[in-house]
Chains A and B, each alone.
Chain A
Amino acid sequence: MEENYKLIENRELQETLYHYRFYPGLDLYVLPRPGYQKKYAVFSTRFGSIDNRFRVEPDQEVVELPDGVAHFLEHKLFEDERGNVFDRFAALGASPNAFTSFTQTSYLFSCTANFEQSLNHLLDFVQEPYFTKKTVQKEQGIIGQEIKMYEDHPHWRVFFNLLAGLYREHPVRNDIAGTIESIAQITPDLLYCCYNYFYHPSNMAIFIVGDLDPGQVSRQVEDNLDGRNYKSLGQIVRLFPREPAEIMQERTVQELVVSEPILFLGFKDIVVENLQGRDLMRREILMELILDILFGSSEQLYNELYRDNLIDENFGAEYSAEINYGYAMIGGETRDPDQLYQRIMEAVTKIKTCGVSAEQFERHRRKVIGGYIRRFNSLEFIANNFLAYHFRNTALFDLPAILQDIRREEALELIEENLDPSLHAVSLIIPSKED
Chain B
Amino acid sequence: MLADYSQHYLPNGIRLLFIPTKKFKTFSIGFFLHQELNQDVAALNALLPAVLEQGSRLYPDKLTLQRKLENLYGADLAADILKSGERHLQAYIFESAHDKYLGENGKLLQQGMSVLGSVLGDPLLVEGGFREDYVNQERIQLIKDIKALLNDKAAYAYERCMELMCADERFGTYKLGRIEDYDRIDAKGLYRYYREIFSSNPLDIYVIGDLHEQQVLQAAGEAFKFPRNAEPKTLPVTEIERPVEEVRHYEEEMSVNQAKMVLGFRTYTGYRDKQYCALLVYSGILGVFPHSKLFMKVREEAGLAYYVHSRLERHKGLMIISAGINSGDRQKAREIIERQLDDMAAGRISDAELANTKSGLVNRLRSQQDSPNQLISFLLDGSVGGKTYTVGELIDGIEAVGREEIKAVAEKIKLDTEYLLRPREGVI
Contacts and interface: CB of A to CB of B under 8 A. Distances in A.
Interface of A: 12-14, 33-38, 84, 86-87, 90-96, 110-113, 138-139, 141-143, 145-146, 148-149, 151-155, 256-260, 296-300, 303, 306-307, 309, 312-313, 333, 335, 363-364, 366-371, 373-374, 376-379, 432, 434-435
A357 to B, nearest CB: 12
6 contacts: A149-B324, A303-B63, A363-B70, A364-B70, A370-B75, A374-B25
Given A37-B366, A309-B141, A84 B300 contact: yes
Contact of A260 (B63, B144, B154): B144
Contacts of B325: 145
List the 7 shortest-distance A-B pairs measured between CB atoms, nearest first: A93-B359, A370-B73, A367-B74, A141-B303, A90-B291, A35-B23, A298-B66
A86 B353 CA distance: 12
Interface residues of B, number: 76
Contacts of A369: 73-74, 97, 102
Nearest to B361: A93
Contact of B363 (A113, A258, A298, A371): A113
B85 interface: no
Contacts of B289: 86, 90, 95
A385 B363 CA distance: 24
Interface string B207-234: 0000000000000000000000000000
A152 B427 CA distance: 13
B57 interface: no
A91 B367 contact: no
Given A138-B303, A148-B257, A376-B25, A333 B363 contact: no
B208 to A, nearest CB: 11
B144 A259 contact: yes
Nearest to B50: A313
Contacts of A96: 290
A157 B412 CA distance: 43
B258 A148 contact: yes
A297 B64 CA distance: 10
Contacts of B98: 373
Interface of B: 21-26, 61-63, 66-67, 69-76, 95-98, 100-102, 137, 140-141, 144-145, 147-154, 254-258, 289-291, 295-296, 299-300, 303-307, 324-326, 352, 355-360, 362-364, 366-367, 369-372, 424
Given A149-B258, A309-B140, 10 more contacts: A34-B23, A37-B370, A146-B306, A151-B257, A152-B258, A257-B150, A259-B149, A369-B97, A371-B97, A374-B97
B96 A370 contact: yes
Contact of B367 (A33, A112, A296): A112
Nearest to A12: B101
A373 B291 contact: no
A37 B254 contact: no
A363 B150 contact: no
A306 B62 contact: yes
A133 B131 CA distance: 66
A14 B154 CA distance: 42
Given A35-B23, A141-B304, A306-B62, A298 B257 contact: no
A90 B70 contact: no
A149 B69 CA distance: 38
Nearest to A300: B63
A152 B137 contact: no
Nearest to A434: B255
Contacts of A256: 255
A333 B66 contact: no
Contacts of A111: 363
A259 B147 contact: yes
Contacts of B299: 142
Given A142-B303, A152-B257, A374-B26, A333 B63 contact: no
A380 B204 CA distance: 29
Contacts of A364: 70
B108 to A, nearest CB: 9
B243 to A, nearest CB: 35
Given A12-B101, A259-B147, A303-B62, A139 B366 contact: no
Contacts of A378: 371
A381 B182 CA distance: 39
Q: B66, B101, B303: which has the most chain A beta carbons within 10 Å? A: B101
B71 A259 contact: no
A84 B325 CA distance: 22
A408 B325 CA distance: 52
A97 B326 CA distance: 24
Contact of A93 (B63, B352, B356): B356
Contacts of A367: 70, 73-74
Contacts of A434: 255, 424
Contacts of A258: 150-151
B257 to A, nearest CB: 4
A149 B424 CA distance: 15
Contact of B62 (A38, A151, A297): A297
A300 B304 CA distance: 49
A260 B148 contact: yes
A94 B97 contact: no
Contact of B74 (A149, A370, A379): A370
A378 B369 CA distance: 12
Contacts of B75: 370
A93 B363 contact: yes
A145 B324 contact: yes
Given A91-B356, A95-B360, A303-B63, A377 B150 contact: no
A251 to B, nearest CB: 21
Contact of B254 (A298, A306, A435): A435
B74 A333 contact: no
A83 to B, nearest CB: 10
B306 A145 contact: yes
Contacts of A307: 137
A169 to B, nearest CB: 28
A112 B366 contact: yes
Contacts of A296: 66
Contacts of A90: 289-291, 352, 356-357, 359-360
A13 to B, nearest CB: 6
Contacts of B363: 93-95, 110-113
